[in-house]
Structure 1
Amino acid sequence: MSLTISIRFLTGRANLHHWQAHHSDGKLDWPPSPWRLLRSLVAVAGRGMTSLPWPPHMAEMTVVVPGTKTVSKKGIPKPTQEKLDWQKAKRRLRLVELLTDGEAAQFRTANPWQGFDAALKELQARALRQVPVALCDTPNDDLGINSLISLLSSMSDAPEIWLPRSSHGHTRQYFPIHEEGIVKPSGVPVFDTFAVVDKNLPVHFQWPYLELSEADPQLNELRRILSRMTYFGRAESWCEATAHVGLKLEEGPHTSYWKCVCAGGVGQHSASIDDRNFIVERKLAPIPIQTEQFRNEVLEFVWRVTPRLTREAFRQTLLAESNATMLLRCLLRESSADIASNLDRPIGTRWVHYAVPRAIFDLPSPRPKTRLRPQETIQVVRYALNSVTMNRPVLPPLTDTLLIGGKFRDAALAIYGVVTGKKNWFDYDEADPYPRNLCGHERDRKPLCGHTHAFFWPTDEDNDGFLDHVTVYCPAGFEQSEVDALRRLVRIRQRGGRPDLLVTPVFLGKAEAFGPWQLKPGAEPVRSFVSATPYFCPLHLTHGKNGSGKLRPITPILQRGLVEYGITADVKQIDELVFDYAPADLAEVCESIAANVARQPIPPRQFFPVIEPPSTFPSLSQPDGSCNSRYKGACIRNADDPQYPFGLTVGLLVNHSTRFVRTLSFCRRRRDAEVKGPGRLFRITFRETQPPRPFALGDQCHFGLGLFVPEMESAVR
């Protein structure tokens, strides 16, 4: 049965260069040469399995002679003088050719000092050790050298090479220089080429006419060698090699392999070598060892390139060896030695031509792979705002909270519609994916009940009066298609000729993983939440036409809104935050009332002195004393009191408490929706500590209005 050697490249790359080729010439030895395979087998066997002799050209017959400036050759015949060379610059003595005892005695007579005598004896002893001897088995070898010779001779014919689909790749880098532990580029560019193959498809070398069986000892020896082969070609071409007997490989329209046959060798390809479906590649293969050409070439070239010291002795050894043993000696030679000898190919090889099918390099067009993403639960998507400007960002003012929240929702729905091809969210069919959490409506256009869909909260994190972040929060969690739409949101248009807003996602994940909404270790507990944007009551507080203008209390409406949002904690107190026109004077009035110096009503806050004091009058506001920068110097009043004293205004401070923003200046319209009634600011205090997570109540709470943010206890009076 036929023998097949399979080599699988573990990294999908094969760094193989032609013989005598520069590393940057861009050429690649693909398919691999048969000569490369045989040399790899010899190299693996020589690493601990077989004792291999050193090649003759590696013998270095030089020795340093200390204290010697020159070597005298007086009285020595000319032919004998050429056998010993003195390198004056390095003070080395080099033995060119083996000396007889008489010739050695002549050199000792001409140079009678002790150092020269010791150096000459060392060279003579070293030369005797370097005289080539016949190859024979060593008792302690795991694989005998004769077994290796027999194995190599059986595979000396050019094999068929089966290649999978492959292509050529390259890298560009610079040779590094190591100086004092620092790696620096040398400036020498390297164009490194390699073959790219599938990691799971090996390259097959097949000898169809080599008869082997599973019980053959040669097969077991070959498998032991291949099991120790870790790379093929350069050291970075990691591989796994195996041997098979009787492996059947076939060509066809749906095959994964194509056969490359040596044209003119055993098993010649049926197609002409000039066929346009094939590429002709020149490869190195052994000269058939049964021919006289192989023996004559080895005897001639090996004798020519062998050092003079052992040339004649080596020739006599070669004459007594078989052709199979000569093949091993050729495989043991270093390529650098043959290149230095100006040979156009290694000794014992020939140039053969392989017909390589072009279909090997016809790679299919790459198709984008559908990556299965894990189904992650996304509740919070946080964006940072910027603008396309040179000097500083032009951000929207805090008063555009409702407008920016609505634009975010519209932009997300528009991006969602790009994928599905629907212009409006109410055009989706039953089979289409539906942005339920983004639009806040069912498929029948009815609004969703509760507050489980998306909130769009524009916020001013640095309290400079301009919106710099947008938080999109969905308690029920977004669908994956909705998350994809939010990921693609990168730009929002502004009104008033301002440059477009650039939005950058800075967080995607669960609410429990969002850092600003978690209580940090050592932080103060949170019981109070204060308005960051005005609260607009979703109901009319009047009792209708027959109510005589009497207003209903707002505290129950706020508490009902907390329950609808999902907060069932017990509320301790709800205060309304206002600003007085003269807070210092108000403090004095409150102190006077507390000391029974003055009585209510106090003009001009509770009535004008042009009339008599009324029987019913609004209660006075009390100084808050809060350290919150938004409400520095603010006052608190009873939220359910229907009457307001004179001199109050509703708003909040921004830009380090230097600028006052009234609630009346906040944008109240979003598309077809408009908030009505006055905007009011509150502080809600719970009896128990709460997680520092903001919430929104009231009309248009899903678009930034009625937003309550946590307030530390140290900031509350």
Structure 2
Amino acid sequence: MVTIAFCFPAGRYHATPWGRHVNEAEIEWPPSPWRILRALVATWHRKGASDRYPTAVLDGLVERLSSNLPSYRLPCGVRTHSRHYMPQGRLKTGREDTSLIFDAFLRLDPQAELIANWPHTILEPEQYALLDELTRDLGFLGRAESWVEAWRIESWEGEANCHPSEISMDIDTGEMLEPVRLMTPRPAEEYATWRNSMIRQHGLDAKKLKKPQRAILSTLPERFIDTLRLETSDLQQAGWSLPPGTRAVIYQRPSGNFTQDSALRFTKPNRVQTTTARLALAGRPLPRLEDAIKIGELARVAAIKNAEKANGGYVPAVLSGHHLPVDNRHGHAFYLPEDADRDGYIDHILVHAPAGISAEGIRALDRITRLWERDGGEWQILYEGSGTVKDLPQSPYLGRARIWTSVTPYLHPWHIKKNFGVAEQIARECRQRELPEPVEVKKVERIIVGGKKRRPVHFHRFRSTHKRLTQPDTRGHFVQIIFAKPVDGPLALGFGCHYGLGVFSPGDEKE
């Protein structure tokens, strides 16, 4: 059995059925099996799973899920819409021309779970592992506004209420059901036969093809899984009434599934708060770890810019660090560049906010596609995932340990005074952040970065800002902090700690 649960934290599900115009205000409910498989394949490409799982594992997973039709357990929702007058970029009778667009969506309880269940499907262990990762990293289902959280359920004992059937009546209860047409993938083993019949039917095996025939042939890949990678615009241009490799199946859903009760009360979700996200960098050459503060600042700028675009100009304070409450104690985002493979180059950025990252913040981070600097450096960004610190164990900055050692220079944030040196300032910072005071702080002369010995002077230690910042320490120190009891990471202290300075990694006694 394979069972996937979905919930929509924004309380909205947007998806237009294939072949229907958006102004018909129809909603594809439940999400078709074809839509779910396309979302999983897209996540495999976009979220970096291709680096850890070979194509053969994805192929096998898709083939197993396409071989049987799922049943669903549908929660109730309110069918509603909003109206927008979209500018058309031209004038009409002296005024800007607009077109009325209906945005239909299903309003759901953010805690309500949609269940998709393949009762007769069994996967290989590696396929289960891949499915777990893909569902965890799935960001939306349907249109981009349909934020989703998904996870696999090991053993589901519930009862489905939406099945593939031609009979619009529950035989056991006599209750009338509502038929809905969903797109489902053809079993992978049938695809080759179907493709050959399409090629013969449209004369696509001729030596010379006309332009419409070439368009059709370009959307008939040899492998079934490649049909899930085709762009919707290419399918529409080729004139497909149904996407290649799919078939329409009638499902029966409960007749009262779309309630008209506008006073439907939704309870507040009681889920674990997201505090941490991880981004991957790609490009040649990657930035040096010695330039961590530059990359941390670029990541913050990119998060702010994308938040403005994604949220209509609104930037969550947790991302920007602006307009925070007076009692804020570093609860906003730390942008911490990582050298995960220890080759001396930054390959990831850990974004951590102890106060929690809102859905708007995660949406902004997910939209970041590149970082660039004026000197010509440019890197692609891949959003790997988010959750709590326990959900991202691969980060070298996360863990629980007594001993923490500098990865980048620590710059003391206050001026040195008598009995108020580096150790005393670290102890004060720990108190302010409600961490235990260290039992010992040792200075370290050098650290190893990419096989080379490095001193603090080798690192860039200044903010790239036009503002006049008080910087009591311009040299920096490497230190090792020892606590009486293990503390949780990430740990970043001192001047510039929100941008990659003063970062520590757990030591040999990591739990």
TM-score scaled by structure 1?
A: 0.33
Instruction: Answer 1 or 2: higher relative contact order, Cα 8 Å, separation at least 6.
Output: 2
Q: Highest CA radius of gyration, 1 or 2?
A: 1
TM-score scaled by structure 2?
A: 0.46
